């Protein structure tokens, strides 16, 4: 008997496929929501979106063989616990890279052209009188600094070039000749901070990248700089960002992710409690960058394919813990 746990909503067509193939499907959302620990002893495979998977949850799952991340970040899974317990952890590379990259420009254009305040103005029945406060800036000719030149960073570079932006990149594993082939230039982070008009972060959240943008980095940015984060909230020190916005050290921020991924009335970035003026260039959205009809279908079907592969006794296609997994179930591993 196959028992699958799905942590958060997935594409309806993929959910139907899982329900048709598995004996039991437990949902971690909606009216049939279960508490994972209550059903952990029966679960063979998991499709995981944003729920945090701890050592306790993994160790309570004696039959578990795979946690298939619906996406690419694995910061919500205790990878060491998964490896110690012979559980594969897989990702769905590239399935939402384009969705995130396009969304960077949705945020950037919205911040640069003040579309949010402009919409509010018309809703409040004002037309010409409010236009003076809605002067934006153009992307063409400006410098876009990309921190992290992986799947998403590369796609952002290509789109930025379409807008006529100069692209500079910082990434510890990138080679300058590879970056140069894309028309971008590899630079040190300090140079990127100093020269960029817009900075967008696409590094994974790791102990080494936690708060990689903090007071020191913000102090080096141009006063008219915008920073965009569609990666993980923990990459930016939010207290330092609030200070930077309040003091005018930078002009704005567009954030799809925050450290606390929930409503937090005390967070000035969420509730516009920053002094008037410093909110003009602030756009915050609730982690939707990777969420399109196309990407949800791709992430759902790729993660379900990984679950089926492992439950059939075969090595998954995109494991992240292949080097550390202690007991492998894969026939060919």
The residue from 152, 168, 251, 284 that contacts ligand NAD (CB under 6 A) is 152
Q: Are 146 and 202 in contact (CB under 8 A)?
A: yes
Question: Is 213 a binder of ligand NAD (CB under 6 A)?
Answer: no
Give 186 or 250: the residue with its C-beta nearer to ligand NAD: 186
Q: Is 204 in the site for ligand NAD (CB under 6 A)?
A: yes
- Residues 6 or more apart whose CB falls under 8 angstroms from that of 221 comprise 193, 194, 196, 199, 227, 244, 249, 250
Number of other residues whose CB lies within 10 A of the CB of residue 121? 18
Q: Using CB under 6 A, which residues numbered 65 to 84 contact ligand NAD?
A: 71-73
Catalytic residue among 142, 155, 202, 232: 232
Give yes or no: 70 in active site: no
∠ CA(274), CA(279), CA(282), 5° rounding? Answer: 120
Long-range contacts of 25-33 (CB under 8 A, 24+ apart): none
Question: Under the criterion CB under 6 A, does residue 287 sit at the interface with ligand NAD?
Answer: yes
Residue 190 catalytic? no
Given 10, 82, 184, 203, the residue binding ligand NAD (CB under 6 A): 203
CA nearest 204: which of 155, 260, 148, 286? 148
Site string for ligand NAD, 215-244 (x = CB under 6 A): ---------------xxx------------
* CB 61, min distance to ligand NAD, A: 24
Rule CB under 6 A: is residue 151 a binding residue for ligand NAD?
A: yes
Give me the least distance between CB of 93 and ligand NAD, in Å please: 6
Strand 24-27 with 143-147, pairing:
unpaired
User: Is 62 in a helix, a strand, or coil?
Assistant: coil
Check residue 303 for interaction with ligand NAD (CB under 6 A).
no
Number of residues lying near ligand NAD (CB under 6 A)? 31
Q: Is 49 in the site for ligand NAD (CB under 6 A)?
A: no
Q: In what order do the strands lie in the sheet with 3-6?
A: 24-27, 3-6, 45-48, 66-69, 88-90
Q: Are strands 198-201 and 226-229 parallel, antiparallel or unpaired?
A: parallel
Is 261 an active-site residue? yes
The footprint of ligand NAD (CB under 6 A) covers 71-73, 96-97, 100, 147-153, 170-173, 202-205, 209, 212, 230-232, 256-257, 287, 289-290
Active site residues: 232, 261, 287
């Amino acid at each position: 008997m196959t028992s699958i746990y799905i942590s958060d909503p997935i594409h309806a067509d993929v959910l139907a496929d899982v329900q048709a193939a598995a004996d039991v499907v437990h949902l971690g959302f909606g009216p049939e929501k279960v508490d994972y620990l209550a059903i952990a002893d029966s679960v063979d495979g998991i499709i995981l979106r944003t729920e945090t998977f701890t050592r306790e949850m993994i160790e309570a799952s004696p039959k578990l063989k795979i946690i298939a991340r619906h996406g690419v970040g694995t910061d919500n899974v205790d990878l060491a616990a998964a490896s110690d317990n012979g559980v594969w952890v897989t990702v769905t590379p590239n399935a939402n890279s384009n969705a995130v990259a396009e969304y960077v420009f949705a945020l950037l254009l919205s911040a640069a052209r003040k579309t949010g305040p402009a919409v509010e103005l018309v809703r409040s029945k004002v037309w010409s009188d409010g236009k003076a406060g809605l002067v934006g800036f153009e992307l063409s000719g400006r410098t876009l600094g990309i921190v992290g030149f992986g799947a998403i960073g590369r796609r952002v570079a290509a789109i930025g070039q379409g807008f006529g932006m100069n692209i500079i990149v910082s990434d510890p594993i990138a080679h300058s000749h590879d970056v140069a082939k894309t028309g971008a230039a590899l630079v040190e982070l300090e140079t990127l901070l100093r020269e960029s008009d817009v900075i967008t972060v696409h590094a994974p959240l790791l102990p080494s990248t936690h708060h990689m943008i903090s007071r020191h980095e913000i102090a080096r940015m141009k006063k008219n700089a915008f920073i965009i984060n569609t990666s993980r909230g923990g990459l930016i020190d939010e207290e330092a960002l609030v200070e930077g916005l309040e003091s005018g050290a930078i002009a704005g921020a567009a954030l799809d992710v925050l450290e606390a991924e929930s409503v937090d009335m005390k967070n000035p970035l969420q509730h516009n409690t920053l002094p008037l003026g410093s909110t003009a260039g602030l756009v915050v959205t609730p982690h939707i960058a990777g969420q399109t009809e196309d990407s949800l279908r791709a992430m759902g079907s790729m993660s379900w394919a990984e679950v089926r592969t492992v439950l059939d006794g075969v090595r998954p296609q995109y494991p992240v813990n292949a080097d550390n997994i202690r007991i492998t179930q894969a026939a060919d591993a």
